[in-house]
């Protein structure tokens, strides 16, 4: 069981082939490039790679506008290169997940081209049409400020088509059984080429009812069960990680009460309050969010992340909380996006302060779920705010202080490499950090090792402990007679906290597994611990021999 549910104790690493490593000097990253960096990723300790879209695409939304689901975009290589890559990853014990973008296609997809050219085409019904402009055409935009409408008139047929995202991304009519069958076929295809599952894009929109007369779209959750069922039949250990930014009361509908829908979901709810905690040193909303997302089926798992390739969406915080995060981490209008978020990378958001960065990442590795890193996080990469929208945080990976950060031999990289300021590639790169035992890179490697040796986090149950200080988060994990106690101090000053682990004798001795500051409880069973500003502690209760105690592997 422990080995079968591999995603429970995994470490995910998200990368975009296009901006990771260019092997042929044309300025665009490619599969052969990523393949050459697999030993780097294996060394870091990641166990699964999530690839952002690499299928054929006009590239108007960084590949989230697919024009052929069954091919690699020629700029990144061939299907042959893809299979070499998944095979090589497997040899190193690394699984590969890919983005599954089936809420919409590109408007250059042959299905859409045919659908708009001919109302009698068999693909007409694969999209969502209206003869007249629907009354709610100016509602529900995902990219407010940039996207003007959700229904655009198609000149060819004179009718309007629905698009939840940009106008060049027509929504697929996912209620159509032919479309559903095609989605399964796409999954089956990539499974056959060696992937272990999918990060499914925009899941709430995939399952939403669509149409001109739909005012309150109902979700068709059963679709998720059929995706899951198909995956399990084809390849029992494959999973779907859902991108679904929904309110906690809907979570179980996505996981399925019996765990018969999505295996994993990103925990957006925790993500937002985590940033609030970092900005305000008030951990109460974070502890609340953790408790509100505690319930999940035994096979369900959260994906825990800090920043991703999109803006940091703070839409579900209160106005006051959101303003606090803006003030502290993205005060300029230019750093904000879509009226709800911040588009920067994490390191500049935290002022490049290594103590705060380590606090944030230690949290990411220790919150209930499976950590999902983003390429460049491990070296603390920065952003380039002169690039439009979300591109500012999508610049090429910085490998060395060679020209273009060692990403490409071309002098025209696909996006500019950050070359100046504190995050420029000559100071922030893999080669330099590899040599420095105290670098972010080497720290990350040690953290990942520690996280993998702490299966209590991925598998166990948690409880937030009372420390009497709203700026300190204390969590205890329990799993099979093992317990972990993890502390994070969000204050910019040292604090002394007093707490009871709640395990009686078993909680008397806390062994520090990250450092050398063990703690023994006083005669009343209380621990008194002083934590430095932005400090963290990982303890195992009751000794280090947890592996010996484990009854099953
Ligand atoms: C969510 C993806 O994360 C985002 O980058 C993309 O623009 C939209 N879905 C549309 O596919």
Atom 6 of ligand 1: nearest residue by CA position: 64
Does 544 score more than 70 pLDDT? no
Pocket test for ligand 1, best of 310, 374, 389, 393 (most atoms within 8 A of CB): 310
Question: Ligand 1 mean position to 454 CA, how many Å?
Answer: 32
| CA-wise closest residue to 9 among 358, 477, 439 | 477
Sign of CA dihedral 170, 55, 399, 195: positive
Backbone dihedral region for residue 45 (phi beyond 0: left; psi -120 to 50: alpha; all else: beta): left
Pocket test for ligand 1, best of 16, 50, 51, 61 (most atoms within 8 A of CB): 61
CA distance linking residue 129 with residue 117, whole number of Å: 13
pLDDT value, residue 549? 54
Q: How far is CA 248 from the centre of its chain?
A: 18
CATH architecture of the domain covering 461-552:
Sandwich (2.60)
pLDDT value, residue 553? 46
CA distance linking residue 304 with residue 215, whole number of Å: 33
Sign of CA dihedral 229, 233, 239, 242: negative
Average pLDDT, the chain: 96
Residues 156-169 have pLDDT tens digits of 889 999 999 999 99
CATH number of 110-162: 3.90.400.10
Catalytic residues: 201, 243
Q: Are 331 and 351 in contact (CB under 8 A)?
A: no
Provide the 10 A C-beta neighbour count for residue 135.
11
Backbone dihedral region for residue 63 (phi beyond 0: left; psi -120 to 50: alpha; all else: beta): left
Residues near ligand 1 (Cβ within 6 A): 61, 64, 101, 165, 201-202, 243, 309-310
Please compute the mean of the pLDDT values over residues 125-151 and round it to a whole number.
95
Residues 46-82 have pLDDT tens digits of 999 999 999 999 999 999 999 999 999 999 999 999 9
Residue 320: partners with Cβ closer than 8 Å, 6 or more residues away:
none
Residues 103-130 have pLDDT tens digits of 999 999 999 999 999 999 999 999 999 9
Atom 10 of ligand 1: nearest residue by CA position: 64
Pocket test for ligand 1, best of 101, 106, 388 (most atoms within 8 A of CB): 101
From the CA of 165, give the closest atom in ligand 1: 10
- Domain at 6-102+177-204+239-452, CATH class: alpha beta
Sheet of strand 336-337, all strands in order from the earlier edge strand to the far edge: 312-313, 341-342, 336-337
Residues 380-423 have pLDDT tens digits of 999 999 999 999 999 999 999 999 999 999 999 999 999 999 99
């Amino acid at each position: 069981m422990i080995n079968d549910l591999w995603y429970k104790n995994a470490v995910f690493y998200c990368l975009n082939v296009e901006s990771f490593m260019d092997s042929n000097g044309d300025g665009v990253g490619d599969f052969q490039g990523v393949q050459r960096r697999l030993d780097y990723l294996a060394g870091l300790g990641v166990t699964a790679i999530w690839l952002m879209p690499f299928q054929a695409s006009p590239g108007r939304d960084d590949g989230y506008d697919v024009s052929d689901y069954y091919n690699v975009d020629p700029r990144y290589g061939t299907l042959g290169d893809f299979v070499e890559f998944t095979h090589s990853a497997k040899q190193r014990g690394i699984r590969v997940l890919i983005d599954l973008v089936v809420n919409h296609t590109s408007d250059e997809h042959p299905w859409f081209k045919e659908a708009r050219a001919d109302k009698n085409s068999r693909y007409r019904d694969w999209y969502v049409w209206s003869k007249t402009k629907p009354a709610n055409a100016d509602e529900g935009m995902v990219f407010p400020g940039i996207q003007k409408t959700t229904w655009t008139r198609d000149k060819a047929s004179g009718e309007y088509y629905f698009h939840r995202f940009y106008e060049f991304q027509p929504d697929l009519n996912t209620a159509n059984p032919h479309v559903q069958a095609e989605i399964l076929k796409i999954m089956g295809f990539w499974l056959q080429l060696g992937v272990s599952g999918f990060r499914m894009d925009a899941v709430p929109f995939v399952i939403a009812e669509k149409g001109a007369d739909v005012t309150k779209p109902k979700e068709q959750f059963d679709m998720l069960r059929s995706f899951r069922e198909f995956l399990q039949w084809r390849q029992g250990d494959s999973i779907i990680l859902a991108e679904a930014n929904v309110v906690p009361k809907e979570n179980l509908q996505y996981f399925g009460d019996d765990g018969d829908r999505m295996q994993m979901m990103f925990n957006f709810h925790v993500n937002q309050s985590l940033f609030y905690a970092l900005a305000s040193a008030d951990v109460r909303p974070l502890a609340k969010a953790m408790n509100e997302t505690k319930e999940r089926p035994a096979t369900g798992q959260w994906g825990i992340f800090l920043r991703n390739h999109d803006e940091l969406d703070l839409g579900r915080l209160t106005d006051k909380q959101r303003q606090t995060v803006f003030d502290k981490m993205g005060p300029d209008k230019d750093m904000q996006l879509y009226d709800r978020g911040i588009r920067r990378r994490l390191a500049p958001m935290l002022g490049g302060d290594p103590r705060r960065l380590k606090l944030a990442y230690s949290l990411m590795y220790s919150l209930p779920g499976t950590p999902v890193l983003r390429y460049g996080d491990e070296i603390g990469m920065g952003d380039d705010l002169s690039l439009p929208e979300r591109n500012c945080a999508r610049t090429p990976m910085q490998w060395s202080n060679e020209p273009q950060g060692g990403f490409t031999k071309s002098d025209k990289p696909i996006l500019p490499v950050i070359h100046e300021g504190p995050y420029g590639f000559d100071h922030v790169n893999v080669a330099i950090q590899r040599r420095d035992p105290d670098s972010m890179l080497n720290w990350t490697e040690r953290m990942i090792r520690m996280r993998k040796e702490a299966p209590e986090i991925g598998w166990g149950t948690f409880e937030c402990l009372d420390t009497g200080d709203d700026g300190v988060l204390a969590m205890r994990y329990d799993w099979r007679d093992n317990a972990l106690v993890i502390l994070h101090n969000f204050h910019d000053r040292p604090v002394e906290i007093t707490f009871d682990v709640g395990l009686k004798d078993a909680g008397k001795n806390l062994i520090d597994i990250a450092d050398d500051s063990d703690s023994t409880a006083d005669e009343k069973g209380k621990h008194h611990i002083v934590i430095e500003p932005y400090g963290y502690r990982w303890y195992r209760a009751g000794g280090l021999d947890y592996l010996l105690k484990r009854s099953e592997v």
